[in-house]
Amino acid sequence: MATEALPSGYEPAEVESRWIDYWREHKTFTPDPDGPGDPYCIVIPPPNVTGALHMGHALDITLQDILCRFHRQLGRKVLWVPGTDHAGIATQNVVERALAAEGKTREDLGREKFIERVWEWRAQYGGRIVNQIKRLGASVDWTRERFTMDEGLSRAVREVFVRLFEEGLIYRGDYIINWCPRCQTALADLEVEFAPHASKIYHIRYPVQGTDRFVTVATTRPETMLGDTAVAVHPEDERYTDLIGKSVVLPLVGRVIPVIADAYVEREFGTGCLKVTPAHDMNDFELGRKHGLACISVMDGSGTINDEAPQAYRGLDRLACRQAVLDDLSALGLLEAVKDYEHNVGECYRCKTVIEPFVSKQWFVRAAPLAAVARKAVEDGRTNIYPEQWTKTYYDWLDNIRDWCISRQIWWGHRIPAWTCEDCGELIVARTDPESCPKCAGSRLVRDEDVLDTWFSSALWPFSTLGWPDDTPEVRAFYPTSVLVTGFDILFFWVARMMMMGLHFRDDVPFREVYIHALVRDAEGKKMSKSTGNVIDPLVMVDRYGTDALRFTLTSFAAMGRDIKLSEERIQGYRNFVNKLWNAARFSLMNLGEDIPDVDLAVAAKAGPAHAWILDRLESVKESVSGALSGYRFNEATQELYGFLWHEFCDWYLEMVKVDMASGDEARIAAAKRTLWTALSELLTLLHPIMPFVTQEIWSRLPGVSQPDLALMPFPAARPHLRTEKAAAAMELLRQVVVGVRNIRAELGISPAVKLTAMVKTTTEAETDSLAACEELIRFLARLDRLEVGGEVVAPKASAAAAAGSCALFVPLAGAVDFTSELARLAKEEAKVAKELDMVEKKLHNESFTSRAPAEVVEKEREKSRAAHEKLDRLRELTVRIQGLMEA
């Protein structure tokens, strides 16, 4: 095909949008489930429909895309399923804020109208995160995009709920849960985030019934004492053994409550006496069930004190009640001490309100039997977790799992498919909405108001997105999926739950491997946050430097198990790498022309040492990149490709190939073109999974290409017959000689326009033959008039010397260097540096300056001093060297 020259500069924006459209229009990433190739499947961790792309997303998407593009190259039929999560609490909060701006509440609209409003919001704004993912070049199958509230996924959710209920693994009951008074909903344990709070710990005296004695309890939440139903002590605590079985009088309430013994109590904490409030503390709830204690809730769902408390406190907010209780205790002389106390307090992961343990009727999944199966699947190696260190964390969570509260008191989400018959009280859980009670045939059925936890539907994602519960071609071909790429923060939220659900409903793990990537931090290693002001916006970086530069930067630092320290300067630096590739391609295309000679590569390799070397290196790079990507060593793949493109292909091969192109020898030119085309085309293919846009754009201008879509090109086949240690050794010796001559030029200030003579004293016949074969290249690269090689070489007088491997390199300087002028130049430069150093030293010896100037200013002057000393040393060494040459 006719090729078009590349523009002088790479402009990412236009190129990226054009290829995004091309891939979507041509359905490049839409696989046929019944097509050839082994299946490879990834389901995208669904971002919240309310979300905006952050750097963690950018890393996540980049790594998944690399894997998908790489495995397509390996000939597998790859399905990468995109989608978004309805994000129950987050989305409802967004819409409720919009309503509040209109002076309305969701109750003003009613449930049905409110849900309509949420769907309208989703239609208007829900595609934002999807469009941002597209900008990263994600090779997902957009024809199979899913949403957790899609009709198909909703049917899967309902089927799972009903089946688990029928199996006794879902139940409804009164239990203590995490409750957000602001969001007015239950939260799973994992939806509670703990943050340090500067608080107080209060020591309160409880009178022992019938005596003048007191026991002192310590608490951070004195308002909950209104619901106390016992005081607990350790059975072996000698301070209180005589009180076990007796009673105390609950201050402010007057309720007589028992003193119980339980080894759960920590004797060293506080006073060793624990107030037990089963309705307002998770651990107290378990103690209460164990000892048969009453469970008295003194708050309602908004954190307001209810009628179970004495009249004086009813209607108070929980914090206002705390102060009132403290005031009254102090007045009665029962507040013994108040101490500062810093501890972690649970907060709602959405609105940051302090959560309240709350007893209510909720729906739960019996997690233990499901967790045991999920644990065994990893133990047996059916699913492997990388890095392996996260396996222990996974086990620890499953071993200590509690029943999962799955009901939420909000309106946006999958409504629980449960009805209560008002005539007979029958609970009905059904796959389709019932019209009458199966027990009494009554028609007065009231549906449960709650919706399911968002993570319940997300737990089904690996198979619900493929069409389950139907037996679809996608389910048959692509389940279990191949790998899950995600951050460690949802290892429990999502990964473990997908394992439980996948094994239970598909009798197989949801993915064969889990790759846990690290956090993206700022350049100093701090976590990015808006409050800190150190957030790097991936879309801003894409606008400034292009998607490929951002992707390559993230991949370069994606070492397994290590956090990424990111800065804009690093992204800018890798934009230079993108430009390097572009310019290398421009040069190559200008020299290749329209027709690529059909020269056997083995023949081309024999046509010149440069061709043999670059083809040998190409084979090594292909092997290294394939192994690195297969083993999730993303950073190793980028390091290999960076070094090959910049330091070998550009710095050396493109320079050496100029000699062949200018030779006028048709056979040499044909071999050079074939080798250059092969190196460039395979390099583009290797780089494509990491930098899809710039590689595709160059590929579209490359002559001799039959497949215009680089994303559909196979991984370059191995050519072991092109591997040769001899070529690598010859090139290494050539480079050492050339670099040696260049260093001598630089040190002695010899202009590149001055042609030199170089003499190499070899130690073996093989070295002599190798350098003789490379003579033309060495003379061109080192700008030499003459190259003399052999074991009998003798250095003439006034020669600069350097080592080149085991060989000695000499460059005669007579006529090339004016020693007298050079010494004068060095003396002048030395005087200038000495004067600058003297000024800096005076500052540093001035105590007024060092004691008053900012530390960073003083350190800057010290750095100037160090640099000046180093420069003086180099100038003096060079002066001595030239003086020695003059005497030779």
- Residues annotated within a binding site for ATP: 530
Contact (CB, 8 A) for 795 and 885: no
> Could you check whether the bond before residue 689 is cis, i.e. omega within 30 degrees of 0?
no
Q: How far apart are CA 520 and CA 533, in angstroms?
A: 15
Put the strands of the sheet holding 192-207 in their side by side order. Answer: 214-219, 192-207, 335-348
Contact (CB, 8 A) for 726 and 773: no
359: three-class secondary structure by DSSP: strand
DSSP, res 773? H
Other CB atoms closer than 10 Å to residue 13's CB: what's the count? 11
156 Cβ neighbours under 8 A, 6+ residues apart: 457, 460, 463, 464, 468, 469
Q: How far apart are CA 175 and CA 278, in angstroms?
A: 10
DSSP string covering 697-741? HHHTT-TT-S-S-GGGSPPPPP-GGG--HHHHHHHHHHHHHHHHH
Binding residues: 530
815 phi/psi in degrees, rounded to 5: 90, -20
Put the strands of the sheet holding 445-447 in their side by side order. Answer: 427-429, 418-421, 445-447
Contact (CB, 8 A) for 339 and 200: yes
Amino acid 558 reads A
Contact (CB, 8 A) for 871 and 877: no
Tokens of 786: 């003459």
Cα–Cα distances (Å) from 438 to 132, 443, 444, 448, in that order, read 49, 10, 12, 17
What does the longest C-alpha to C-alpha distance in the chain come to?
118
761: three-class secondary structure by DSSP: strand
Tokens of 262: 């339980």
Q: Could you tell me if residue 879 is left (phi over 0), alpha (psi between -120 and 50 degrees) or otherwise beta?
A: alpha
Residues paired with 458 in a beta bridge: none
Scored b (16 or more CB within 10 A) or e, 717-756 reads eebeebbeeebeebbebbbbbbebbeebbeebebeeeeeb
Contact (CB, 8 A) for 28 and 139: yes
Tokens of 246: 């007796």
Half-sphere exposure at residue 452, Cβ-oriented, CA atoms within 13 angstroms: 24
Half-sphere exposure at residue 155, Cβ-oriented, CA atoms within 13 angstroms: 8
610 Cβ neighbours under 8 A, 6+ residues apart: 652, 653, 656, 657, 659, 660, 731, 777
Kindly tell me the burial class for residue 574, based on how many C-beta atoms sit within 10 Å of its own C-beta (0-12, 13-18, 19 or more): buried
User: Quick one: which H or E segment has residue 784?
Assistant: strand 784-790
DSSP, res 747? H
Residues paired with 363 in a beta bridge: 172
Query: Can you say how many angstroms the Cα of residue 167 is from the centroid of all Cα atoms in its chain?
Result: 38
Q: Tokens 């891939």 appear where? A: 23
Using only the alpha carbons of the chain, give its radius of gyration.
37
Q: How far apart are CA 556 and CA 684, in angstroms?
A: 17
591: three-class secondary structure by DSSP: helix
Length of the chain measured in residues? 888
DSSP, res 406? -
